[in-house]
Structure 1
Amino acid sequence: MHTDTTTSRQPIGGAGTYFIRSGYRSRDQVEYFLDETDDTVTWQPDVYPYAAARAKELGRDVVIDIGCGRAGKLASLAHEYPAWSFIGVDFGDNLVWCRDNHPFGEWIEVDLESAERLPVSSSLVRRSIVVCSDVIEHLVNPAPALSLIRGLLVEGSAAAVLSTPARECRSGHDAPGPPRNPSHVREWASDEFQALLKASGFEIHYAGLTRSDDASNGLSTQLLLVGLEGTEGEQR
């Protein structure tokens, strides 16, 4: 793995490039990401345990998983916390698979590039924490998904846990793109992604690196805890 932890000589971009540096090339379109699990490797193994720990600290017992895929890690949380409620949000074959194979949870079909609101009762939202784990990089336009997450926070969700690749740790700050992974539209360096979140109305309570997988154990995935702009949050 190529690792570049130095600061780029180029400034971060603006809203038109989702704050990615000048010269970066995103994909115009990607194929549907079918979440077919490889049992030998767990990707982002620490994100959902982190979210569960924050939920317990904040007194929440509902997890809303935005872009849940086949919800394997959500299933692990359901096994560990059987009294909690779980809501998985996705579309297409991944969501069909969840409905057919998971005996727990509520499965909501939503296009994350166009939806404005989730059909979830306010009483559940006020008991929730939101997770969006390695989803943003798959979206041609991430703005609707970020707006959807912010809307849940406005409705009373305690916080949102986000993860996405850290480009500076994988190919360098100034890598021209597109990403090596053909299902990724773009990948942000950490300072770029934090700028995007702040511009989208989020307050960042924690930002760091976490393991990309449990095979290499390399710290090349961004992990963030966010709330609404101007709110107090857990610094962890």
Structure 2
Amino acid sequence: MARQHLSQFLGPVSKHLNSIRTAAQVISRNQGLKLLLNSGLTSRTQVHPDVYPFAAYLGQLFGCTHVITIGSPTARDLIQLYPQFEITGIVPATDLDLYRRRYGFANWLGADFNASFRILPDENILRRAIVVCANVIEQLASPASLLENLKLWLDVAPICILTSADRSLDKGREGQAAHPGRWNPAELERLLRAEGFNLEFIGLTASDNVSYEKRTILALVKNSAAIKPPAVKTPSDFRVVAFMAAYNEEDIIVQSIRKWTEQGVHVHVLENWSTDSTYNLAKQLEGQLPVTVERFPKEGPSRYFEWGAMLERIEQLSREIESDWFVRRGADEVLLPPWPGMSYRDGLYFVDRAGFNCVDHTVINFQPVDDGFEAGMDHEAYFNYFDFGKLPSYFRQRKAWKNYGQKISMAASGGHDLPFEGQRVYPYKFLLKHYPVRSQGHGEKKVFHERKARWNPAERARGWHRQYDSVRKGHRFLRPALEQRLFVEDDFNRTYLMERLSGIGVLR
């Protein structure tokens, strides 16, 4: 019965965490099974279904041990947090006895949010806590007291998730009228900045688990003393080296290399004995730009694409080349930090200053809608329609790491992870824009002749190179624009804030 409730009600987090392990953790503690079953007895309609999974995701990566919730979390919300975190909940005073009776594993405090109140948790808790204030602020006659408390807590706590219905929200639980939104995202941003909050991101998240319409504002506010991206100046001697694997990419190789070098990144190309002009085009840039090119394998073309051996070569190069950070990317990928207008190199320096040493990425795939792309064009500018990458491998794209001279191992994961001792993954994912196919003819040539025909059977047996298994002869590589999403950077950053920062919400 518990398993049935788990699969039905864990919701979006089940796509990102091991559900069986989560169930075992919940059941292992007193009242855990009761919480699990209560989550199945609550309404099927869940408000802001991704917020508490997002809190668990960020809490883990920020190294938090506690979560402080403000508002009225449901059992389905709390099951995302317990028992991984110690929970302190601040609920309406009229509901205090109910919460203490129903969820005795947490520390519950009551407050009249519409009155002047002051609650100051222990600093040792705050220092290790993520704060979640979900859909409370818009219900208050005046948010002043709530904001004062949050401001005090964020002098110590690392991060706060704040949500509010926006002014277009017109339905709530069970289709009944909800508290109307008082702000749109721009207005809430102005309010938070005027109150002195260190606002890092603001956008939208799903309002319920029925329509998943984006009508709830999501704001991420960080510690008051935490450095802000614009304030960080990357020193000229901060060196980043990008390892770029390339095979038959003559139509984009020059643009792809320049997109790195224009950001001050050195590019080392591992050219896999292309049968087109990729190698010659890359070599021509060697004397003009910070680019080095090697052919791999050194001995000459191999019968199969030896991806594992190439990853081992990159591991070897990372021990030989002097650099502060390394990044591995394909020639058909464009990588961006989560802060608009910032270069990837500057983003890595900011991550470094924040005390982290590894970066993960969210993947979006751009597919052609026509056959108009020509060699030498800017592929990032030409292709405007995308969808989120949904293959299992896309949810672990740890491709950038700080160089301590440490040994890394990418080959074990097929290049999707690079575990090393002391790894601290930055909580917010960077963006990976992927341009694997540029026309119908290119797709047919690449998939059937340059990929499937060259896969290494031993690597296939390990579960690698599965991305084109469903593609058969006659496949239509052109996708109508109506079947994809138009990429406009500002709209994307706002509408898909949670998806791009964590991957939560992608699989729906």
Structure 2-normalised TM-score?
Answer: 0.34
Q: 1:40 to 1:98 in 2, by over 3 A?
A: same
User: Helix, strand or coil for the counterpart of 2:154?
Assistant: helix
Does residue 225 (structure 1) correspond to residue 229 (structure 2)? The answer is no
| Offset, 1:84 | 1.7
Amino acid at match of 2:121: V
User: Helix, strand or coil for the counterpart of 2:208?
Assistant: coil
Q: 1:151 to 1:116 in 2, by over 3 A?
A: farther
Does residue 151 (structure 1) correspond to residue 152 (structure 2)? The answer is yes
Deviation string 1:54-89 (CA, Å, 9 cap, x unpaired) is 11111111000012x25424421244xx14200110
Amino acid at match of 2:51: V
Instruction: Indicate the structure (1 or 2) with the bigger Cα radius of gyration.
Output: 2
Partner of 2:388: none
8 Å contact kept, 2:165–2:181:
no
CA distance in 2, matches of 1:140, 1:186: 12
Q: 1:52 to 1:159 in 2, by over 3 A?
A: same
CA distance in 2, matches of 1:100, 1:91: 15
Partner of 1:97: 98
CA distance in 1, matches of 2:58, 2:84: 16
8 Å contact kept, 2:132–2:161:
yes
Q: 1:115 to 1:64 in 2, by over 3 A?
A: farther
TM alignment of 1:99-114, pairs within 5 A = 99-114=100-115
Q: 1:228 to 1:209 in 2, by over 3 A?
A: same
Structure 1-normalised TM-score?
Answer: 0.71
Partner of 2:160: 160
Q: How many residues matched?
A: 187
User: Helix, strand or coil for the counterpart of 1:104?
Assistant: coil
CA distance in 2, matches of 1:109, 1:192: 29
Partner of 1:39: 43
Higher relative contact order (CA 8 A, sep 6+): 1
CA distance in 2, matches of 1:162, 1:106: 21
CA distance in 1, matches of 2:205, 2:84: 28
CA distance in 2, matches of 1:133, 1:120: 18
User: Helix, strand or coil for the counterpart of 2:87?
Assistant: strand
8 Å contact kept, 2:204–2:216:
yes
Partner of 1:212: 207
TM alignment of 1:5-84, pairs within 5 A = 39-67=43-71, 69-79=72-82, 82-84=83-85
TM alignment of 1:174-189, pairs within 5 A = 184=179, 186-189=181-184
Question: Among the aligned pairs, what percent are the same residue?
Answer: 29
Q: 1:86 to 1:153 in 2, by over 3 A?
A: same
Q: 1:140 to 1:93 in 2, by over 3 A?
A: same
8 Å contact kept, 2:169–2:181:
no
- Cα RMSD after superposing both structures: 2.4
